[in-house]
Amino acid sequence: MLCSGLSSTLLLGAAYFLLTSGFSRAQLSLPSNVTAISTGRVITFNVISVLQLSCGSGVMIVQSVLYRCADKEICSRLHDLDVIKKSCDLKEVCEINTNMVRTCDPSVCTYLDITFKCFPAIHSVTCEGSQAKLQCGEGQVIVVSWANFGRRDNTTCSDGRANSQLQNVNCSSPNSTEYVTNRCNWQNSCTVEAKSSVFGDPCVGTYKYLEVVYDCQESEATSSPPPTTVTEVHSVTCEGSQAKLQCGEGQVIVNPWTDYGRRDNTTCSDGRPDSQLQNVNCSSPNSTEYVTKSCNWQNSCTVEAKSSVFGDPCGDTYKYLEVVYDCQAGSSKTCPPGWTWFGGRCFIFNSSQKNWTDAESSCETLGGHLASFHNTAEYTFIRELTHTAAGSYKEAWVGGRKNETVWMWSDGSQFDFINWASGEPNNYGGGEDCMEINHGERDYVNDKKCNTNIPFVCVRDP
Ligand SMILES: *[C@@H]1O[C@H](CO)[C@@H](O)[C@H](O)[C@H]1NC(C)=O
Ligand SMILES: *[C@@H]1O[C@H](CO)[C@@H](O)[C@H](O)[C@H]1NC(C)=O
Ligand SMILES: *[C@@H]1O[C@H](CO)[C@@H](O)[C@H](O)[C@H]1NC(C)=O
Ligand SMILES: *[C@@H]1O[C@H](CO)[C@@H](O)[C@H](O)[C@H]1NC(C)=O
Ligand SMILES: *[C@@H]1O[C@H](CO)[C@@H](O)[C@H](O)[C@H]1NC(C)=O
Ligand SMILES: *[C@@H]1O[C@H](CO)[C@@H](O)[C@H](O)[C@H]1NC(C)=O
Ligand SMILES: *[C@@H]1O[C@H](CO)[C@@H](O)[C@H](O)[C@H]1NC(C)=O
Ligand SMILES: *[C@@H]1O[C@H](CO)[C@@H](O)[C@H](O)[C@H]1NC(C)=O
Ligand SMILES: *[C@@H]1O[C@H](CO)[C@@H](O)[C@H](O)[C@H]1NC(C)=O
Ligand SMILES: *[C@@H]1O[C@H](CO)[C@@H](O)[C@H](O)[C@H]1NC(C)=O
Ligand SMILES: [Ca+2]
């Protein structure tokens, strides 16, 4: 027989590796428009023990597993392809233990022929309990292809772990890619906790790890004008008219300073008797607070210059509204300092204890509302945000509020939430018209009396 005379030591050396340039499309898990940078092939004879596939700086996707003899295909076994794909796909380097696969008929001369393609990507691995940090270079943003929280082999994150924690190598949390994509896509850098409280526990008793495959792409922002330009705008509106504050496209109003009253005798003086212009020491104390609440972080907004809005600080004087504000680039891909990106929106946990109404106004002052959520990934993210900020899953207000019998989100989005804790909403004792998460510091969404003072979570647009 042609091959059987070779010893297995020799055969280890005989395993060889071909890298050829080639372009084709991925079949699994990568977006279909990601192009392969190379293709690889490992051919080995009979019974060697360990085989290494390697992609250098990219990640691989195994294409075929065949047994051959003298270039004649003996058989291909789909089961072995599945096994090898499961442990190798989307890794940079993969070791195959050849007793994982079985030759069709060990008595004939067979050799194993594995082909794979390499794709440009970064593969990050983080052991359970630690924090994954994804990072791109300056001016670049993360584009996530795939993620898995679970275990695909028995060597990764195995140091000091009992064998029993490493045996299950068919463990994956189904929504990992969705979660990591929502959290990190289009950010320059981002962190993700590799924890079961984030991803669910797909295999209790197994020590898991988080794998993320991502690419760094040039951010569009770098090709448009520098986003740091700040323009100061000064607007004056006479009493009885409507002020329209407006920034350019892609910009937002920040830090408005406002005065409603009169500071000189010329502004808004046309056709007015002197008596209405004499008092030049007239100003409404709360005007900045009001305008901040309605305009901060908006692209444009309107404010009525009227005493019914600001109060009347000087009865017989004809007043006017002055607003000085900055227009600043509101990049669609960044959150203000302190806020955390998730799925295209920015979130913040605020530990001040407020009743629901005051909490909602606090969020509005910051350009948002109490947080709404529309899927498991967002809900999980918000819970983790409270844990990261407060050190425990602190009870917190979110934007759900009951109007008569109908629940609504304060940000006006559609109320599609149904996953109340079992038995909730129970309107216990009456008046439980507001929604809290983390009731009893548990995974528990509850209706609660709105006048209770607890921390809260706000959401806003980037
Ligand atoms: C791939 O296609 C998707 C959607 O069609 C697009 O959003 C993405 O930017 C594309 N990626 C590349 C690398 O061209
Ligand atoms: C890991 O798995 C391989 C094959 O699947 C097996 O031969 C090896 O003994 C395992 N190692 C441990 C530490 O379980
Ligand atoms: C891996 O798990 C999935 C679902 O949990 C199951 O359908 C599949 O048969 C398992 N595969 C192996 C090789 O155990
Ligand atoms: C995964 O997502 C689906 C659809 O969004 C959802 O029904 C399911 O509960 C999620 N599973 C986990 C473990 O989060
Ligand atoms: C406006 O005030 C200035 C000085 O403060 C004064 O000289 C002028 O006469 C005033 N004009 C009117 C119309 O009251
Ligand atoms: C302006 O009014 C405030 C309070 O209404 C008063 O304290 C201040 O002395 C006044 N200033 C002048 C210049 O009249
Ligand atoms: C201005 O603010 C004070 C304290 O915050 C409040 O008591 C008062 O009612 C406000 N006045 C107006 C006109 O809103
Ligand atoms: C939390 O809310 C309080 C009260 O509205 C506010 O003063 C504070 O700035 C908020 N903290 C953050 C971090 O936004
Ligand atoms: C709340 O309910 C009242 C009475 O049913 C209704 O008039 C009002 O429009 C509702 N508010 C919203 C925001 O739907
Ligand atoms: C919320 O608290 C404020 C004081 O901070 C109070 O004026 C208001 O009435 C309270 N609202 C409710 C609904 O309890
Ligand atoms: Ca309740």
The tens digit of pLDDT for each residue in 421-460 reads: 999 999 999 999 999 999 999 999 999 999 999 999 999 9
Ligand 2, atom 2, lies closest to the CA of 154
Say yes or no: 89 and 186 in one domain.
no
1 within domain boundaries: no
Say yes or no: 214 and 265 in one domain.
no
Question: For position 425, what pLDDT does the model report?
Answer: 96
Question: For position 45, what pLDDT does the model report?
Answer: 60
**What CA–CA distance (Å, rounded) separates 346 from 340?**
5
The pLDDT tens digits of the residues spanning 295-317 come to 877 778 899 999 999 999 999 99
Does 438 contact ligand 8 (Cβ within 6 A)?
Answer: no
Say if residue 425 is preceded by a cis peptide, omega within 30 of 0: yes
Does 280 contact ligand 5 (Cβ within 6 A)?
Answer: no
Say yes or no: 347 and 455 in one domain.
yes
Q: Which of the 8 DSSP states describes residue 339?
A: -
Residue 210 pLDDT more than 90?
yes
Residue that terminates a domain, selected from 222, 249, 273: 222
Average pLDDT of the residues in 322-337: 76
Interhelix angle for 176-184 vs 376-390, to 10°? 60
Say yes or no: 181 and 263 in one domain.
no
Residue that terminates a domain, selected from 98, 120, 142: 120
Q: How many CB atoms lie within 10 A of CB 17?
A: 13
- Most confident range, picked from 79-83, 321-325, 348-352: 348-352
Q: What is the CATH number of the domain that holds 350?
A: 3.10.100.10
392 within domain boundaries: yes
Confidence band (pLDDT; 50, 70, 90) for 420?
very high
Average pLDDT of the residues in 381-397: 95
Residues 88/97, Cβ–Cβ less than 8 Å:
no
Q: Which ligand has its closest atom nearest to the C-alpha of 447?
A: 11
Q: ∠ at Cα 434 (289, 429), nearest 5°?
A: 135
281 within domain boundaries: yes
Question: For position 71, what pLDDT does the model report?
Answer: 54
Question: For position 369, what pLDDT does the model report?
Answer: 96
334 within domain boundaries: no
Say yes or no: 311 and 406 in one domain.
no
Query: Higher confidence at residue 439 or residue 51?
Result: 439
108 within domain boundaries: yes
Enclosing domain of residue 315: 230-329
Spatial neighbors of 103 by CB under 8 A, at least 6 apart, are 46, 67, 110, 112
Say yes or no: 344 and 449 in one domain.
yes
Does 344 contact ligand 7 (Cβ within 6 A)?
Answer: no
Lowest mean pLDDT among 210-219, 277-286, 329-338, 405-414: 329-338
Going 195 to 196 to 202 to 208, the CA torsion angle's sign is positive
Say yes or no: 16 and 112 in one domain.
yes
Question: For position 39, what pLDDT does the model report?
Answer: 74
Residues 66/113, Cβ–Cβ less than 8 Å:
yes
**Cα 94 to averaged position of ligand 2 atoms, centre (Å):** 14
3 within domain boundaries: no
Amino acid letter, 319: K
Average pLDDT of the residues in 1-14: 27
Average pLDDT of the residues in 231-237: 88
**What CA–CA distance (Å, rounded) separates 209 from 121?**
19
**Cα 356 to averaged position of ligand 10 atoms, centre (Å):** 8
Residues 188/140, Cβ–Cβ less than 8 Å:
yes
389 within domain boundaries: yes
Spatial neighbors of 364 by CB under 8 A, at least 6 apart, are 293
- Structural domain total, the chain: 4
Lowest mean pLDDT among 46-50, 160-164, 243-247, 268-272: 46-50
Question: For position 47, what pLDDT does the model report?
Answer: 53
Does 285 contact ligand 7 (Cβ within 6 A)?
Answer: yes
Residue that terminates a domain, selected from 222, 255, 277: 222
Question: Measuring CA to CA, which residue among 191, 19, 44, 217 is closest to residue 116?
Answer: 19
* Mean pLDDT, all residues of the chain: 82
Say yes or no: 81 and 46 in one domain.
yes
Say yes or no: 313 and 364 in one domain.
no
Say yes or no: 48 and 13 in one domain.
yes
Say yes or no: 347 and 398 in one domain.
yes
Q: Which secondary-structure segment (H or E) carries 96?
A: strand 93-97
411 within domain boundaries: yes
The pLDDT tens digits of the residues spanning 118-156 come to 888 899 999 999 999 999 988 788 888 889 999 998 999
Q: What is the CATH number of the domain that holds 277?
A: 2.60.120.740
Say yes or no: 111 and 130 in one domain.
no
